[in-house]
Amino acid sequence: MNRILIVDDKKDNLYMLRFLLEGHGYKVEEAQHGAEALLKARQSPPELVISDLLMPVMDGYTLLRHWKSDQQLKHVPFIVYTATYTEPKDEKLALDLGADAFIVKPTEPEPFLNQIKEVLAKQKSGLLSPTKLPICDEQTQIKQYNESLIRKLEEKALQLEQANHALQLDIAERKRTEEALHQSTSLLQTAFDATADGILAVDRKGKIIAFNQRFTEMWRIPKALMEETNYHQLLKYVIEELKDKDGFLAEVEALYNQPEKEGWDIIEFKDGRVFERFSKPQRIGNEIVGRVWDFRDITDHRHTEAEREKLQAQFIQAQKMESVGRLAGGVAHDFNNMLGIIIGYSELALDTAGLPVTLHNHLEEIHNAANRAAEITKKLLAFARKQTISPRVLDLNETVESMLKMLRRLIGEDIDLAWLPGSALWPVMADPSQIDQILANLCVNARDAIAGAGKLTIETDKVNLDDTYCAEHADCLPGDYVMLAVSDDGCGMTPEIIAHLFEPFLLPRKWEKAQDSAWPPYMVLSSRTMALSMSTVNREKERLSRFTFLVTRENRKLQHPRILNKSLAAKAKLYWL
């Protein structure tokens, strides 16, 4: 890796050179004047030196003369890089003193880097002669140097004289201009500070020339950092807050490589904020002198759009459910009429005396099958909102306990049924038949999901969702609830199955081992008094599926509520219908 010593009294120039050279694989050392450069070079000679000419303490010409007369350093290539001494005589003097290249600022990165590569290549191939004698003697060099210096001083003196003369002639006009400028600036600053956008203006050298208070508030930038007016330091600070640092920097670099280009993009922060970024060049006449950045906070707009999309999806789903409900209701109604005929005539036939036993058994099977079909139509009508639901105040523990005997028969002897009732439950308003349906269907599904022996757990408890919890879970409403949870250690459900869990008529074949009951959990969620959370938890060698129902407490006196514990809160999102 080539090590390059860069010499310039301006820190911004040093920064830009370092940024460019290090970005192309060079190792860079800095010095702010010739004396410092000589000291550093003698301690550790570089492979190349790039020096400005106009500097304090020791200028570039003097540095070049000392460099080429130093036995240790004269073989090191010397490139002059100047924006002040730009006339042919200045270039001739530098080359006479032994400079290997003379480059006038500003220069585009590509030709500048090519010049460096060319000088280093010549040095490596021996085409540069470190011992060559100056073209002219020292006296001539001093004379040329003095002439160049005097010429620059004369130019500066002439410029100063002309400026003073113009100032004297135009003092009254200047005062009027300054007053108009002051008024214009005041108006501009007022508008600048009143805008809701954050605005930053930077010149071509990366110096901050203007910004408003809104900009510092939006980006949360310390006042001390803004006072430094160094855009590059500011850039280093702000990119740490962004999600895509590389993309941000790439866009900035692209805009600076094409000064005339305008830009727009979206900036996302790690903390969730979202900004729009506008950028366009600042012009004075036809000259581009800098760039203006405009930042607009669209975080709330993004959230509003996301909420609108969510509501739109819910609306579409509601329309689908309404259509399905109408279809299901019509089918169930017609089917129920036909079942009524089958059930009625089968009962009449069964009441006929003297029927053969075989025929009597066949009629009983027909009658029983028709009754089972009637239960299905009842559920369809409930789904279509055409079957009356009869909620009443009940104790959830009593309702569950009345079902335990039947549930144990449903799941079989190989599965252990654990009943964990909560103490002193609040009363709830619910239809007991719906609670029975919840338990029966979930237990049957759990049975089918358990291979061989296993465990099924039913538990109840009192929970309170406070404002803090609901603020973090937008789908929740604060209040007291009675919890009913059913969990099993069966095969669980895949994320794909969970995604379709709330679809009506979910076919059992979509469940890994479910054999019957395609009705839950959708059917039991038709009541607005009930919420459901569902999760599948992976453990080392087992899976746990857990359905948690929250039923709103009846409005009675509180009985020692407790906050919803973190383990329940972490299991899954609550789905409110």
Looking up tokens 């995604």 gives 499
Same domain, 397 and 520: yes
Q: Are residues 58 and 89 in the same domain?
A: yes
SS3 208: strand
Which burial class, exposed, middle or buried, applies to 58 when counting CB atoms under 10 A from its CB (0-12, 13-18, 19+)? middle
* Other beta carbons within 10 Å of 407: 23
Write the CATH number for 26: 3.40.50.2300
Same domain, 58 and 141: yes
Please state, in angstroms and rounded to a whole number, the distance separating the CA atoms of residues 157 and 436. 102
Q: Is residue 36 part of a domain?
A: yes
Whether residue 200 sits in one domain with residue 101: no
Beta strands per DSSP E along 99-185: 101-104
Residue 557 pLDDT class (50, 70, 90 cuts): very low
pLDDT of residue 225: 81
Contact 549, 557 (CB under 8 A): no
Is there a domain that residue 482 lies in? yes
| pLDDT tens figures, 65-105 | 999 999 999 999 999 999 877 788 888 888 988 899 999 98
Minimum mean pLDDT range among 31-35, 237-241, 346-350, 434-438 = 434-438
Closest CA to 267 of 280, 283, 281, 279: 279
Domain boundary pick from 383, 414, 431: 383
Structural domain contains residue 170: no
CATH number of domain containing 453: 3.30.565.10
Least confident of 9-13, 51-55, 273-277, 555-559: 555-559
Using the predicted structure, report yes or no on whether residue 222 has a pLDDT greater than 90.
no
Query: If you average pLDDT over residues 453-457, what whole number do you get?
Result: 90
Range scoring the smallest mean pLDDT among 183-187, 443-447, 474-478: 474-478
* pLDDT > 70 in the chain, percent: 80
In this structure, is residue 164 part of a structural domain?
Answer: no
Rounded CA-CA distance 277/279 in Å is: 7
Helices 138-169 and 60-69 pack at an angle, to 10 degrees, of 170
Mean local confidence (pLDDT), 342-359:
88
Q: Do residues 355 and 278 share a domain?
A: no
In the chain, the N- to C-terminal Cα span, in Å, equals 67
Indicate if the alpha-carbon torsion angle 491, 515, 503, 377 is positive or negative. negative
Greatest alpha-carbon pair distance for the chain in Å reads 146
At 231-276, the pLDDT tens digits run 777 888 888 888 888 888 888 888 888 888 888 889 899 888 999 9
Res 450 pLDDT > 50: yes
The β-bridge partners of 170 are none
The domain boundary residue, chosen from 297, 321, 342:
297
* CATH at residue 280: 3.30.450.20
Q: Count Cβ atoms within 10 A of the Cβ of residue 95 and give its class: 0-12 exposed, 13-18 middle, 19 or more buried.
A: middle
Q: Is residue 85 part of a domain?
A: yes
Does residue 128 lie within any of the structural domains?
Answer: yes
Same domain, 265 and 240: yes
> What pLDDT, on the 0 to 100 scale, is given for residue 187?
81
Average pLDDT over residues 171-195: 80
- Contacts of 278 by beta carbon, 8 Å cutoff, 6+ apart: 262, 263, 264, 293, 294, 295, 296
**Tens-place pLDDT, residues 285-320:** 888 998 998 999 999 988 888 888 888 887 887 777
Mean pLDDT along residues 143-168: 71
Task: Say yes or no: 411 and 334 in one domain.
Answer: no
Summarised one tens digit per residue, pLDDT across range 487-514 is 888 777 777 777 666 665 554 444 444 4
Predicted local distance difference test score (pLDDT) of residue 572: 34
Q: How far apart are CA 142 and CA 137, in angstroms?
A: 9
Could you list the residue range(s) of the whole structural domain that residue 325 is in?
303-383
Do residues 295 and 317 touch, judged by C-beta distance below 8 A? no
Domain boundary among 339, 355, 383: 383
Residue with tokens 């009943």: 419
pTM attached to this predicted model: 0.38
Q: How confident is the model at residue 41 (pLDDT cuts 50, 70, 90)?
A: very high
| Total domains present in the chain | 4
**Quick one: 332 and 461 in the same domain?**
no
179 assigned to some structural domain: no
My answer on whether 441 and 480 are in the same domain is yes
pLDDT of amino acid 385 = 56
Same domain, 423 and 478: yes
Confidence of residue 419 (pLDDT cuts 50, 70, 90): very high
Q: From the CB of residue 327, how many other CB atoms can be counted at a distance below 10 Å? A: 12
405: left (phi over 0), alpha (psi -120 to 50) or beta: alpha
SS3 259: coil
Q: Look at residue 162 and tell me if it is in a domain.
A: no
Shared domain for 360 and 438, answered yes or no, is no
Considering the domain architecture, whether residues 408 and 526 belong to the same structural domain is answered as yes
**DSSP sequence for 358-411:** HHHHHHHHHHHHHHHHHHHHHHHHHHTT-S----EEE-HHHHHHHHHHHHHHHH
